[in-house]
Amino acid sequence: MDSRDTARMREQAMRRSGADGDICPADADGAIRPSDAERAERDALGPVEAGSPVVTVHDKAAGGLEAVTSALRYAIEQAGIQRGTRSLLRLNQKRGFDCPGCAWPDPEHRAVAEFCENGARAVADEATTQRADPTLFEDWSIEDLAAQSDQWLNARGRLTEPMLVRRGAGETHYHAVSWTEAFEIVARELRALPNPDHAAFYTSGRASNEAAFLYQLFVRSFGTNNLPDCSNLCHESSGAGMKATVGVGKGTVLLEDFDQAEAIFVIGQNPGTNHPRMLSALRSAKQRGCKIVAINPLREAALLKFAHPQKIGDLLRPVDMNDLYLQVRVGGDVALLKGIAKALFARDDAAPGTVIDHAFITSHTVGFEAFRRDVEQAEWADLVSVSGISRDAIERAAEIAARSKATIVCWAMGITQHKNGVANVQSIVNLLLMQGNLGKPGAGPCPVRGHSNVQGDRTVGISEWLPKWFPRLAEALGCPAPQATGYGSVETLEAMHEGHVRALVALGGNFLSANPDTRYTARALSRCRLTVHIATKLNRAHLVPGEIGLILPCLGRTERDLQDGLQQFVSVENSMGIVHRSEGSLSPASDHLLSEPRIVAQLAHATLAGTTKIDWLGLAGNYDRIRDLIATYIPGFENYNERVRASGGFLLPNSARDRRFDTPSGKAHFTVHPLPNLDLAPGQLWLTTVRAHDQFNTTIYAHDDRYRGIHDHRRVIMMNPSDIERLGLHAGERVEITSHFEGTERRAPSFSIVPYDIPEGSAAAYFPEANVLVPWNSYADISKTPTSKRIAISLRSETSDYD
């Protein structure tokens, strides 16, 4: 099937999906000519997969020899034996580079192979010998590229030169330009805006502390706080929920706390795919007697058993990874957590002072009595109905919590991406506060970040709010300190769509596929005057440019970074607040590549020349100078250059870890939250979006999901067999999915039904394919995180349409 056939299938599918595109005008010969908005939607959606998935029995254990062989095979295929092996041996080592995958911390004593299967894939993907050079763009128009799959786009390899397209002038192909011309175009377009708030500057969690700090300094010197980032899309609910209750927006536990915990609750998280190195810590805890409770709608292999690839005994007998597995309904987390709290109160009433830490509560918290009244007034019938978990199972979870004197609760986006995402997080905090499980060894909240430096970027200033430390920096450097709150990701989408933001600069990431409501996002991008993407590889966001579209290729984590003839390193912050160095060693993929700090500095120099006294190019010439600025103005980074060179880096301060709570009351806050309304119309289900094993965020390595037994296909919907039968459908049938929100509908065609172990009334599909179903204006209260984990859907059989 060539690209034209694929494009035709995709256009037909889009028309079937009921896209509300503009009316297509006709050319003189009567042919239909798509509008810019409709063309953007078409190019954003990608092709519809032909064929059907191959479904096997899903794995009952994660890791093992297959994980090793899969990692090595991908590394050799992409980078070759020598380059691939060299990159893996430097991965997560003390003088090596940080994994561009998840933000799980490194142990003090590191193995020679200190990486997981998915980390190896991420590194090999960056170290690939394939090149997306200018000849690719000469041979393939934007339309032809858009007709290919995301996997195909990624497999073209590393970008090698700056690329430009002027869609407003009718150009259909990207073409190479010099760096000088690229910087001049961006500077000219930014300066031509009516005011700085007509631009937005997105950041991916891949950016280093140095690049991110320089980026926010450029953006604020330009005059705006429009700094949306990937935190808005994933863990914003964690930050908002924790900041209001314990005074910090980060987790409080360290890796060594996993060696002391007596119970660990893992909620709304699939570590086997998203944070595989976490499994080593969970395995060790389990083997020494720690109790592990897994709470997740889907039954995931890594939360059942794990075979550590470097432990011979595990290969013969994988380690059981849970003592209790609760398959909560999609959206039922508040009810479950409230039920556990109710059972804990009953146990403490029966034996006063043996379960609840009243001394901690009296000394360090407020709001306890209101919380207790709310929990005790909750009816068990409602808690069971909303959570989907029996009272007996909830009591068993409470028994594990009651017996534990040190409990850690871990979570990820299965908790945060809900309408009540902040309430979910704060319900976890309530549970921890009840037993004083905060600020003591082996205990505390542990939000697990899914990108390598998303937490660090926020620490050094990537935020739509002006950081407290910035005005002092601005005064010293003679640059503006814009006071108005800027746009987060949701506000940026709306402002672009309405024409209030005319320029988007993206430091990494895939702005199109990472955001909700793919059609809406595509329209927003297409209405921009300028789109700029700083990237290592081609992705679908690059194929929906504004009137002027630029792709600026940058160095990756694995690559040697020379500035003014001197080898540079960058630094990142992991999920537990430890800042450490990362230094690439591979030869760059192209002589034309620039580092992210250098690109940001050149953009600032070209745009702001003569308006500030900041020596942008000097800062990019030696990253120690950037770190000196950070050390001077951001608390916790004192003596940055000295401490980051120490083995293992340094730990940032965390007041909640010391039982000092930076809240208005000076204490931790219990909070009260109603049960969510999970009622659905007849025939509807709650859909949650998930990641497949062979992908990292929106990057697709292959169309397989080994742990779930789904192969060769990504457009699948996992459903409980009872729901399949109740809705009059059958396994393997292709359906159109329709989402429902406030009287609006969004459609996604051609998803194959796969029976799966998931609660009745719940379903799951992969992102980014299912992102088209997530309304852009459906987001969490307070945090505005998109509700990608709870979408009301209905299904319509379309098998007959395709056969």
Work out how many domains the chain is built from and give that number.
3
The number of beta carbons lying within 10 Å of the beta carbon of residue 33 is 11
Residues 287 and 164 in one domain: no
Q: DSSP letters of 401-429?
A: HHH-SSEEEEE-HHHHSSTTHHHHHHHHH
- What is the pLDDT at residue 83? 79
Residue 134 is assigned to a structural domain of this protein: no
Helices 333-350 and 421-434, axial angle in degrees (round to 10): 20
Q: For residues 181 and 183, give the distance between their C-alpha atoms in angstroms, rounded to a whole number.
A: 6
Angstrom distances, CA of residue 518 to CA of 508, 688, 696, 768, 773? 18, 16, 18, 9, 8
Please choose, from the candidates 146, 167, 171, the residue with its C-alpha nearest in 3D space to the C-alpha of residue 42: 146
The number of beta carbons lying within 10 Å of the beta carbon of residue 727 is 18
Q: Assign residue 687 the CATH number of its domain.
A: 2.40.40.20
Buried b (16+ CB within 10 A) or exposed e, 596-607: bbbbbbbbbbbb
Instruction: Give the domain-ending residue among 415, 447, 479.
Output: 447
CA atoms within 13 A on the CB side of 760: 11
Residues with Cβ < 8 Å from 591, sequence gap 6 or more? none
- What is the pLDDT at residue 767? 96
Q: For residues 556 and 562, give the distance between their C-alpha atoms in angstroms, rounded to a whole number.
A: 13
First-to-final CA distance of the chain: 17
Here the tokens at position 449 are: 């970040």
Q: Would you say 715 and 762 are in contact if contact means Cβ atoms under 8 Å apart?
A: no
Residue 516 is assigned to a structural domain of this protein: yes
- Pairing mode, if any, of strands 54-55 and 710-711? antiparallel
Q: Would you say 397 and 431 are in contact if contact means Cβ atoms under 8 Å apart?
A: no
Q: For residues 147 and 161, give the distance between their C-alpha atoms in angstroms, rounded to a whole number.
A: 23
Q: Residues in the chain, how many?
A: 803
Q: Would you say 551 and 162 are in contact if contact means Cβ atoms under 8 Å apart?
A: yes
Residue 523 is assigned to a structural domain of this protein: yes
- What is the pLDDT at residue 36? 77
Q: For residues 103 and 98, give the distance between their C-alpha atoms in angstroms, rounded to a whole number.
A: 9
Displacement of CA 143 from its chain's centroid (Å): 28
Buried b (16+ CB within 10 A) or exposed e, 653-681: ebebbebbbebeeebbbbbbbebbebeee
Please choose, from the candidates 293, 325, 327, the residue with its C-alpha nearest in 3D space to the C-alpha of residue 403: 293
Instruction: Give the domain-ending residue among 401, 428, 447.
Output: 447
Residues 471 and 434 in one domain: no
Residues 435 and 470 in one domain: no
Here the tokens at position 53 are: 């998935």
Residues 602 and 709 in one domain: no
Residues 338 and 419 in one domain: yes
Residue 125 is assigned to a structural domain of this protein: no
Residues 493 and 516 in one domain: yes
Residue 639 is assigned to a structural domain of this protein: no
Contacts 24+ apart (CB under 8 A), 389-395: 389/326, 389/327, 389/328, 389/332, 389/336, 389/339, 391/339, 393/324, 393/326, 394/326, 394/336, 394/339, 394/340, 394/343, 395/343
Under DSSP, the state recorded for 136 is H
Residues with Cβ < 8 Å from 80, sequence gap 6 or more? 129
Residue 480, classified by CB atoms within 10 Å of its CB into exposed (0-12), middle (13-18) or buried (19+), is: middle
Here the tokens at position 98 are: 């940080």
Q: For residues 266 and 303, give the distance between their C-alpha atoms in angstroms, rounded to a whole number.
A: 9
Residues 201 and 291 in one domain: no
Q: For residues 224 and 244, give the distance between their C-alpha atoms in angstroms, rounded to a whole number.
A: 26
The number of beta carbons lying within 10 Å of the beta carbon of residue 592 is 15
Q: Assign residue 294 the CATH number of its domain.
A: 3.40.228.10
Angstrom distances, CA of residue 53 to CA of 615, 717, 730, 733? 55, 11, 14, 11
Largest Cα–Cα separation, the chain: 85
Residue 140 is assigned to a structural domain of this protein: no
Residue 325, classified by CB atoms within 10 Å of its CB into exposed (0-12), middle (13-18) or buried (19+), is: middle
Q: For residues 727 and 740, give the distance between their C-alpha atoms in angstroms, rounded to a whole number.
A: 17
Residue 602 is assigned to a structural domain of this protein: yes
Q: Assign residue 180 the CATH number of its domain.
A: 3.40.50.740
For the chain, how are helix, strand and coil distributed in percent, rounded to 5? Answer: 40, 20, 40
Residues with Cβ < 8 Å from 270, sequence gap 6 or more? 296, 298, 300, 302, 303, 412, 414, 690, 691
Can you list the residues of the chain whose pLDDT is less than 50?
1-33, 800-803
Residues 329 and 459 in one domain: no
Q: For residues 230 and 525, give the distance between their C-alpha atoms in angstroms, rounded to a whole number.
A: 17
Q: For residues 69 and 72, give the distance between their C-alpha atoms in angstroms, rounded to a whole number.
A: 5
Residues 269 and 405 in one domain: yes
What are the phi and psi torsion angles at 106 (to 5°)?
-90, 140
Residues 220 and 312 in one domain: no
Instruction: Give the domain-ending residue among 391, 418, 447.
Output: 447
- What is the pLDDT at residue 107? 77
Residues 202 and 296 in one domain: no
Q: For residues 183 and 149, give the distance between their C-alpha atoms in angstroms, rounded to a whole number.
A: 30
Residue 188 is assigned to a structural domain of this protein: yes
User: Could you tell me the residue range of the domain that residue 381 belongs to?
Assistant: 236-447
Residues 466 and 414 in one domain: no
**Residue 198 amino acid letter:** H
